[in-house]
Amino acid sequence: GESVGLHLPTLSVQEGDNSIINCAYSNSASDYFIWYKQESGKGPQFIIDIRSNMDKRQGQRVTVLLNKTVKHLSLQIAATQPGDSAVYFCAENSNTGKLIFGQGTTLQVKP
Amino acid sequence: SQTIHQWPATLVQPVGSPLSLECTVEGTSNPNLYWYRQAAGRGLQLLFYSVGIGQISSEVPQNLSASRPQDRQFILSSKKLLLSDSGFYLCAWSTPAGLGNDQLFGPGTRLTVL
- Closest by CA to A99, choosing from B101, B107, B108, is B101
Total CB pairs under 8 A between chain A and B: 46
Q: How many residues does chain B have?
A: 114
Contact B104 A46 (CB under 8 A): yes
A interface with B, Cβ–Cβ < 8 A, is: 32, 34, 36, 41-46, 49, 89, 93-94, 96-99, 101-104
Q: What is the pLDDT of residues A34-56, one digit of tens each?
A: 999 999 999 999 999 999 999 99
Asked whether B56 and B15 are in contact (CB, 8 A), the reply is: no
Q: What is the pLDDT of residues B39-94, one digit of tens each?
A: 877 789 899 999 999 999 998 878 899 999 999 999 999 999 999 999 999 999 99
Q: What is the pLDDT of residue B100?
A: 66
**Alpha-carbon distance A68 to A27, whole Å?**
10
Residues of B in contact with A45 (CB under 8 A): 105
**Mean pLDDT across A64-68:** 96
Concatenated DSSP letters of A27-91: -TT--EEEEEEE-TTS--EEEEEEETT-SEEE-SSEEEEEETTTTEEEEEESS--GGG-EEEEEE
Q: What is the pLDDT of residue A74?
A: 97
Q: How far is CA B5 from CA A83, B22, B48, B58, B75, in A?
A: 24, 8, 17, 22, 12
**Is the Cβ of B49 closer than 8 Å to some Cβ of chain A?**
yes
Q: What is the pLDDT of residue A29?
A: 87
Residues of chain A above pLDDT 90, percent:
74
List the Cα angle B88/B91/B95 in 5-degree steps.
155
Instruction: Name the residue among B42, B98, B108 with its Cβ closest to that of A42.
Output: B108
Q: What is the pLDDT of residues A21-38, one digit of tens each?
A: 999 988 888 889 999 999
Name residue B29's amino acid: S
**Mean pLDDT across A89-111:** 87
Name residue A85's amino acid: S
Residues of A in contact with B98 (CB under 8 A): 97
Q: What is the pLDDT of residue A7?
A: 46
Contact A94 B100 (CB under 8 A): yes
pLDDT over threshold 70, residue A3: no
pLDDT over threshold 80, residue A19: yes
